[in-house]
Amino acid sequence: MDFAAQVDERLHNLAKPPGSLGLLEQQVRQVFLAWGSFQEELRPRHIIFAADNGVVRSGVVAQLSDITYMQSVHMTEGTSAVTCFCRCHGIPYEVVDVGIDSEDAVGVDRKIARGTADFSVQPAMTTEQFTRAAAVGRERVEAAKARGCNILSFGEMGIGNTTTSAAVLTAIAPAGSAFLVGHGSSKGNYRLWFHKEQVVKEALQKYEGEIQTPEDALRCVGGFDLVALYGAMLACADVHLPFYIDGFITAVALACAVKTHPAVRQYALPSHISREPGMSAALRLCGIDEYDVPIHADMALGEGTGAVLGVVMLKTMLYAVGHMATLDGINGEAEERHRRRMEKGAEHQDDR
Ligand SMILES: O=C(O)c1ccc[n+]([C@@H]2O[C@H](COP(=O)([O-])O)[C@@H](O)[C@H]2O)c1
Ligand SMILES: Cc1cc2nc[nH]c2cc1C
């Protein structure tokens, strides 16, 4: 029996109606297949790539870009949403500074530049910067693997990165795809939203001749966080490490990675559906349907909040797989109990 058949048999034989744990079962199945073995313990790590985006100078966000630096510092101190989620569940994490606009680095210092260039004026980064950012992602995954991690979750922090993600997605999605640009962290600000759409549209016209591949799109209109995520996801496929994506930004990085190297899909687990309108389109490019996503909770924070919740669900499910009674066992017990009850019933009838 090949390993996939063994996994199916094991899950099918848990003491519950087959398939009744829905996506939890499907995800634990995917993780066993990614590992190529049954492992009982989850050794997670959450990796957050943080960077600033030059396109904020085109007025696409309402927030100060200084929030990238401040929130990344809070992450290292454990006082951001995602790092509270991690601490609550004992999940180790790291913040990787791939390009925060600050003199001092935050967390793991892999700063490539103090933010990207404004893509409405020039390509977001040079080819050399692209290569370095992708290598940072790969290096962090290899380091996690060397530490013995068997599951990763990815998050990001970067004011302006819903604009870079929408621009990359527009470049790689089928022509004419609608609703790829969203409100980002400025929910309900329609003036900003229209402007953002315009900035994305004009940039894609500007780089039309230059963008042929997902990598071109990431370099011209992406960000260092997106590129590091992209490099990290490619590396996960190479070292057989399954990983959870989070919201819109990580979904766009995944769409690029799957387009470049389709095997990445086998290692990628969706966690939640972001409120950003482009989320579903990005997932569909990866072959993931909205119904394949376990958490529909109107979240749109980023940082990897949904991804960490995915890890928590997986840990719960893995424990259940390791400790649940079997269907064969419970069926046998039920038959035995039934037989004894019938015998008892017959004895009572004899008594009468
Ligand atoms: O992950 C998402 O789906 C998501 C949706 C909206 C906002 N965000 C977070 O908010 C920031 C980007 O929003 P914005 O408006 O500055 O482009 C960035 O730090 C992301 O982590 C993240
Ligand atoms: C406060 C704040 C926290 C964030 N975390 C991720 N993106 C964010 C954007 C803002 C504005």
Mean pLDDT of the chain: 97
Is pLDDT at 351 greater than 80 in this prediction?
A: no
Contact 191, 100 (CB under 8 A): no
Pocket test for ligand 2, best of 71, 76, 85, 225 (most atoms within 8 A of CB): 71
Is pLDDT at 91 greater than 90 in this prediction?
A: yes
Q: Across-strand partners of 153?
A: 46, 244
- The single-letter code of the amino acid at 323 is H
CA of 85 to the centre of ligand 1 (A): 18
Contact 211, 220 (CB under 8 A): yes
> Is residue 330 situated within a structural domain?
no
Per-residue confidence (pLDDT) for residue 347, from 0 to 100: 84
> Is residue 229 situated within a structural domain?
yes
> Is residue 94 situated within a structural domain?
yes
CA of 263 to the centre of ligand 1 (A): 27
CA of 165 to the centre of ligand 2 (A): 16
303 lines ligand 2 (CB under 6 A): yes
Is pLDDT at 49 greater than 80 in this prediction?
A: yes
Active-site residue (options: 303, 333, 336, 347): 303
Task: Give the range of the structural domain holding residue 109, as residue numbers without chain letter.
Answer: 42-323
70 lines ligand 2 (CB under 6 A): no
25 lines ligand 2 (CB under 6 A): no
State the Cα–Cα distance between residues 307 and 250, nearest whole angstrom: 10
> Is residue 278 situated within a structural domain?
yes
Number of Cβ within a 10 Å radius of residue 177: 14
State the Cα–Cα distance between residues 73 and 116, nearest whole angstrom: 20
For the chain, how many structural domains are there in total? Answer: 1
CA of 162 to the centre of ligand 1 (A): 5
Q: Across-strand partners of 156?
A: 49
CATH of residue 269: 3.40.50.10210
48 lines ligand 2 (CB under 6 A): no
> Is residue 163 situated within a structural domain?
yes
Contact 51, 125 (CB under 8 A): no
Q: Which residues contact 170 (CB under 8 A, 6 or more apart)?
A: 177, 180, 181, 200, 201, 204
Give residue-wise pLDDT tens across range 218-277.
999 999 999 999 999 999 999 999 999 999 999 999 999 999 999 999 999 999 999 999
Per-residue confidence (pLDDT) for residue 349, from 0 to 100: 76
Instruction: Kindly indicate the confidence band of residue 348, based on its pLDDT and cuts at 50, 70 and 90.
Output: confident
117 lines ligand 2 (CB under 6 A): no
> Is residue 17 situated within a structural domain?
no
CA-closest residue to ligand 2 atom 9: 185
Helix axes 214-221, 224-239, angle to 10 degrees: 150
Average pLDDT over residues 70-79: 98
Per-residue confidence (pLDDT) for residue 218, from 0 to 100: 98
Query: Where do the DSSP E strands lie in 69-215?
Result: 93-99, 108-109, 151-157
67 lines ligand 2 (CB under 6 A): yes
Q: Compute the residue count for the chain.
A: 352
Contact 190, 303 (CB under 8 A): no
Residue 68 CA, closest ligand 1 atom number:
19
DSSP state of 211: -
63 lines ligand 2 (CB under 6 A): yes
Whole-structure pTM value:
0.97
Residue 71 CA, closest ligand 2 atom number:
3
> Is residue 340 situated within a structural domain?
no
Give residue-wise pLDDT tens across range 127-165.
999 999 999 999 999 999 999 999 999 999 999 999 999
Which bound ligand lies closest to the C-alpha atom of 307?
1
- The single-letter code of the amino acid at 139 is E
- The single-letter code of the amino acid at 76 is T
Q: Is 208 a catalytic residue?
A: no
Per-residue confidence (pLDDT) for residue 346, from 0 to 100: 86
Which bound ligand lies closest to the C-alpha atom of 300?
1
